[in-house]
Structure 1
Amino acid sequence: MGRKHKKEHHEEHADETWLIPYADLLTLLLALFIVLFASAQVDQKKFDQIAASFNVAFNGSPALLESPKPPQPDNQSQAMPPAPQLPTIMTAMSGINEKAYMQETAQLIELKKMLDQYIADNGLGGALSTALTDDGLMIRIKDTALFPSGSAELRPESRRFGTQIAKLLSPLTQKVTVSGHTDNIPINTRDFPSNWELSSRRAVNFMKFLMSQETGLKPERFSATGYGEYRPVAGNDTSEGRSINRRVEVFIQRNYRP
């Protein structure tokens, strides 16, 4: 009787080699989404997370999920002082400017006291006055104390207090502006076709007189300008107001502001 050979039936397994590139593709997609998410707000922590994610994706090492430690600085770099922060610098500069402002204020107050004392001692209260403002110190001189009517030539008696003003200005470092002002009554002469020319010439002449004194005044600190009738300090509808508007001003401008 012939032996019957049973055929061995082996289960056929499906080809699973496609899983490998599929898994790699999923891994790369995961890494891409991590990069896109982290790039929305980049900082050191997220950068470390991105680096760790790439290591996991390509090396498959779970241990690399821990954030890598930053390199330790050597002794030389540890000895270097940290760079000053901008708010610290601004705070320090603000403190310096405030101190300089207070010192300058004290200087201008002392100068005003000296001028007021000189005005009182010499009976010049009707001709000169001073005013301290947030911008600086103003010395206001009535035009009749300096010039004859309609003229820009200095009176001989004005040279005495002009010399005193030059001496008091000598130690200062602030910029000084000498300005001329008139009332609104028009002038039309050969020398002064308008109030512009009259006010400008008066300012320049008084400034030149201050410069001529042997007091060491630095010309680069000084300037002169004429405003004519256009910066009144009183009404021009009365003779008293017009008299106040006709003036020369010496303005000492602050170097520092609060």
Structure 2
Amino acid sequence: MPTAPFWMTTYGDIMTLLVTFFVLLISMSEIRMKKFRDAISNFQRQPGMFSGSKSVVPADYSSGSSQSRARKRAEQYEQFLKRLEERGLGEKIQADLKKEGIHVVIADSLMFRTGRARLLKPSRTVLRELANLLSRDVGSVVVSGHTDDRPIGTRKFPSNWELSTARAASAVRFLQERAPEYDSSRFQAVGHASTDPRASNQTDEGRAKNRRVEIMFNWRSWNSNKTTSTRPTPESTATGP
């Protein structure tokens, strides 16, 4: 009766020992499935990590349609920044692309004269560019007016509450006129007066940073049950205590 070669006997013994060794390792280890699944999902969300490339699409946009929408939003944002730079307005405007939408901060020196709420000509150029961002992707627009802490006390604006609200409403009205097809109920004008400073009001530089208009182009609309969505006017009531 033929027998196996001697090397096969040795090979079989080694394989048996290896299998026994791995069985013992597995029996003494604890597999944490949650961590394992999290690790796998991280690899799935970052297909380009091994090629050295960086994905600009957030992890939330893993599906094809969401990925395409996120790419379109990023392109809108880049085009907006490019047009601002071409017009030499980059220093007076800060724009950030966030998960919630596009956040724009405009210095009030570009928008209004001191103690006034009428838009200056340079601000109209900026707002025309911003109106181009109004599309189906934008669910709501919140325009916020901010002042420094110096009191105003004029006949038209008894306090900074009225001034900041009127400035926000002026910007909203202009955006509405430039994009009449965009539903006016999606706009909101809010006056913060001096309650939300970005810098100290102890210096001229700090006060200049605090006098601003902020515009948030939200991808999602607000909850109509919690927020009144009516067309803002300069007489709108400011938010505050």
Give the TM-score normalised by structure 2: 0.61
1:171-229 C-alpha deviation (Å, 9 max, x unpaired): 53321101101111111111111111100000001100111115522212211111111
Structure 2 CA distance for partners of 1:120 and 1:215, relative to 1, 3 Å: farther
- Which residue of structure 1 lines up, in the alignment, with residue 104 of structure 2? 139
How many residues are paired up?
A: 162
Verify: 1:152 aligned to 2:117, yes or no: yes
Counterparts of 1:121 and 1:215, CA distance in 2: 26
- Which residue of structure 2 lines up, in the alignment, with residue 119 of structure 1? 84
Verify: 1:228 aligned to 2:193, yes or no: yes
8 Å CA contact 2:148–2:197 kept in 1: the answer is yes
Structure 2 CA distance for partners of 1:106 and 1:195, relative to 1, 3 Å: same
1:45-104 C-alpha deviation (Å, 9 max, x unpaired): xxxxxxxxxxxxxxxxxxxxxxxxxxxxxxxxxxxxxxxxxxxxxxxxxx9975365444
8 Å CA contact 1:141–1:247 kept in 2: the answer is yes
Structure 2 CA distance for partners of 1:233 and 1:103, relative to 1, 3 Å: farther
- Which residue of structure 2 lines up, in the alignment, with residue 219 of structure 1? 184
Structure 2 CA distance for partners of 1:194 and 1:216, relative to 1, 3 Å: same
8 Å CA contact 1:180–1:228 kept in 2: the answer is yes
Matching residue's letter, 1:178? V
8 Å CA contact 1:138–1:249 kept in 2: the answer is yes
Counterparts of 2:106 and 2:60, CA distance in 1: 35
Instruction: Write 1 or 2 for the structure with the bigger share of helix.
Output: 1
SS of the residue corresponding to residue 133 of structure 2 reads: helix
Alpha-carbon RMSD across the aligned residues, in angstroms, is 2.3
8 Å CA contact 1:170–1:215 kept in 2: the answer is no
Verify: 1:169 aligned to 2:127, yes or no: no
SS of the residue corresponding to residue 243 of structure 1 reads: helix
Correspondence for 1:239 among 165, 187, 204: 204
Counterparts of 2:197 and 2:69, CA distance in 1: 28
Greater gyration radius: 1
Structure 2 CA distance for partners of 1:160 and 1:172, relative to 1, 3 Å: same
1:140-175 C-alpha deviation (Å, 9 max, x unpaired): 111111111110011123222211211222453321
SS of the residue corresponding to residue 121 of structure 2 reads: coil
Counterparts of 1:251 and 1:96, CA distance in 2: 20
- Which residue of structure 2 lines up, in the alignment, with residue 254 of structure 1? 219
Structure 1: state its 5+ residue gaps: 1-94
Verify: 1:187 aligned to 2:152, yes or no: yes
- The Cα shift of 1:133 comes to 2.6
Counterparts of 2:99 and 2:73, CA distance in 1: 11
Structure 1 stretches of 4+ with a deviation exceeding 4 A read 95-98, 100-104
Counterparts of 1:227 and 1:167, CA distance in 2: 26
- The Cα shift of 1:127 comes to 1.7
8 Å CA contact 1:179–1:248 kept in 2: the answer is yes
Counterparts of 1:96 and 1:157, CA distance in 2: 37
SS of the residue corresponding to residue 200 of structure 1 reads: helix
Matching residue's letter, 2:114? S
Matching residue's letter, 1:231? D
SS of the residue corresponding to residue 249 of structure 1 reads: strand
1:97-123 C-alpha deviation (Å, 9 max, x unpaired): 753654444333222211210111110
- The 10-residue stretch of structure 1 (206-215 or 226-235) with the greater mean CA deviation from structure 2: 206-215
8 Å CA contact 1:170–1:216 kept in 2: the answer is no
Counterparts of 1:157 and 1:222, CA distance in 2: 22
